[in-house]
């Protein structure tokens, strides 16, 4: 199966498509897709003549505020403790409470237990995207609805 590139709809209902052939980017109004609740496949025609398809998704799903203790592990930094501050389908915000601080583009494994009725254990590989003192913003490296952790997060985020 070929991996589809994901493109996200921003809060202004615009999305940026990058042609995989010539790398030219094009930002388009996609407000006709603004109410989608799952990814849709969209065909794009680039000025260079190349046609490609991407999965278009709304980024602004639900971001749930949390206060969940957990740990992180990384080859470079070793282990440390953290508190998950919010969770979305695409990533996490957390505070490092002990251990070394990561840098942008560090890859970590983050593990914690949800406060749902099953006390679901979550283990996700993330890449650090924002660092502000001890507060870290990180994106999941993969989002796959067949993975246990992603399914549990999906249920957890249901309003």
Which one among 19, 87, 138, 153 touches Zn ion, defined by CB under 5 A? 19
14 versus 48: smaller Cβ distance to Zn ion: 48
Is residue 48 within the footprint of Zn ion (CB under 5 A)?
A: yes
Minimum gap (Å) between residue 56 Cβ and Zn ion? 18
Q: Is 44 in the site for Zn ion (CB under 5 A)?
A: no
DSSP 148: H
Closest CB 19 distance from Zn ion, rounded Å = 3
21 interacts with Zn ion by CB under 5 A: yes
How many C-beta atoms surround the C-beta of residue 94 within 10 A? Answer: 27
Tokens of 77: 């930094």
What is the C-alpha separation between 135 and 113, in angstroms, rounded?
A: 19
State how far the alpha carbon of 101 is from the alpha carbons of 15, 68, 115, 130, in Å: 32, 18, 25, 12
Instruction: Kindly state whether residue 22 participates in binding Zn ion, applying the rule CB under 5 A.
Output: yes
C-beta of 41: minimal distance to Zn ion in Å? 18
108 belongs to the binding site for Zn ion (CB under 5 A): no
Q: Minimum Å distance from CB 17 to Zn ion? A: 10
50, 60, 76, 118: which one binds Zn ion (CB under 5 A): 50
Provide the b/e sequence for 42-71 (b: ≥16 CB within 10 Å). bebebeeeeebebebbbeeeebeebebebb
Which spans of this chain sit near Zn ion (rule: CB under 5 A)?
19, 21-22, 24, 46, 48, 50
């Amino acid at each position: 199966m070929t991996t589809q590139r994901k493109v996200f709809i921003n809060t202004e209902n615009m999305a940026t498509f990058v042609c995989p052939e010539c790398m030219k980017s094009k930002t388009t109004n996609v407000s006709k897709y603004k109410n989608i609740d799952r990814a849709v496949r969209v065909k794009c025609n680039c000025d260079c003549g190349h046609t490609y398809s991407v999965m278009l998704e709304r980024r602004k799903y639900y971001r749930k505020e949390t206060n969940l203790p957990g740990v992180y592990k990384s080859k470079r930094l070793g282990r440390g403790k953290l508190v998950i501050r919010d969770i979305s389908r695409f990533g996490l915000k957390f505070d490092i409470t002990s251990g070394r601080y990561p840098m942008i583009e560090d890859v970590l494994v983050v593990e914690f237990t949800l406060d749902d009725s099953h006390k679901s254990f979550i283990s996700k590989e993330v890449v650090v995207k924002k660092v502000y003192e001890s507060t870290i913003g990180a994106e999941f490296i993969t989002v796959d609805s067949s993975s246990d952790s992603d399914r549990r997060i999906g249920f957890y985020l249901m309003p």
